[in-house]
Amino acid sequence: MARRIRPLSILLAFVVVAAVAVGCGSGSTHNDMGHDDMGTTHDAGQMGTGREADVKFTQEMIPHHQQAVEMADLALDPMHEASPAVQDLATRIKTAQAAEISDMNAWLEEWGAEPVDGQMDDGNVDHDAMGMMSAADMTALADAKGAAFDRLWLEGMILHHDGALMMALHIDTRGDDPRVQNLSAAIEKSQAAEIAEMKQLLGK
């Protein structure tokens, strides 16, 4: 397959946001709650190559997206009193990632691969290495309101997006299906931009 070359600006943006996310996580509430702040990185070597890598990426990205949708639902629940800016971002994230989940499930079915049943803690995904929220993090987020909710949600989603960028970067050199490559490029572009937006909302 002719390998798609990513724009240098996107790759540089990934390096910058990864460094910033780790830096801003030091001493944060998420770190105190047990979120490892990407201390463990996603292992590209375990993805394999070709179709194997495409399947592995898809099976990992679906639960990753599912948690982002769950976080968005919390932000959109009036009981959490999220700010209009956070609710707007949550709406956009939910719309985009729910559609991508549908596409990825269809690909797994087409490939005859094991489906993802919607359970994020099924033991098949290295959640910490992917920047995902721990159960304790999600509980703390669900208990928060107002400005405290906004801060926890934005900090958590930055780290969550950073994990997705890591995964997308890895599949670029290992995957084979053009649809997966196009999705990973879209993830890199949209989520790097959303990280910048969230950092602005945090005043960083």
Range of the domain at 117: 49-202
Q: Give the model's confidence band at 118: pLDDT under 50 very low, under 70 low, under 90 confident, else very high.
A: low
* Structure confidence at residue 6 (pLDDT): 52
**pTM for this prediction:** 0.77
Residue with the larger pLDDT of the pair 83 and 19: 83
Mean per-residue pLDDT of the chain: 80
Cα distances from 199 to residues 38, 103, 108, 196, in angstroms, run 17, 29, 34, 5
Q: Which residues contact 81 (CB under 8 A, 6 or more apart)?
A: 145, 146, 149
For the domain that residue 191 is a member of, what is the CATH number? 1.20.1260.10
Q: Give the model's confidence band at 175: pLDDT under 50 very low, under 70 low, under 90 confident, else very high.
A: confident
Residue with the larger pLDDT of the pair 44 and 89: 89
> Above pLDDT 70, what percent of the chain?
72
Residue 173 lies in a domain: yes
Q: What is the DSSP letter of 132?
A: P
Residue 20 lies in a domain: no
Residue 152 lies in a domain: yes
**Statement: residue 129 has pLDDT above 90:** no
Residue with the larger pLDDT of the pair 197 and 14: 197
Residue 10 lies in a domain: no
**Statement: residue 28 has pLDDT above 70:** no
Residue 26 lies in a domain: no
* Structure confidence at residue 204 (pLDDT): 73
What's the structural domain count of the chain? Answer: 1
* Structure confidence at residue 44 (pLDDT): 62
Measure the CA dihedral 203/32/42/114, to 10°. Answer: -110
Residue 118 lies in a domain: yes
84-115 per-position pLDDT tens digit: 999 999 999 999 999 999 999 999 999 999 88
Q: Give the model's confidence band at 35: pLDDT under 50 very low, under 70 low, under 90 confident, else very high.
A: very low
Q: Give the model's confidence band at 22: pLDDT under 50 very low, under 70 low, under 90 confident, else very high.
A: very low
Residue 24 lies in a domain: no
Residue 60 lies in a domain: yes
Classify the C-alpha dihedral 84-85-90-95 as positive or negative: positive
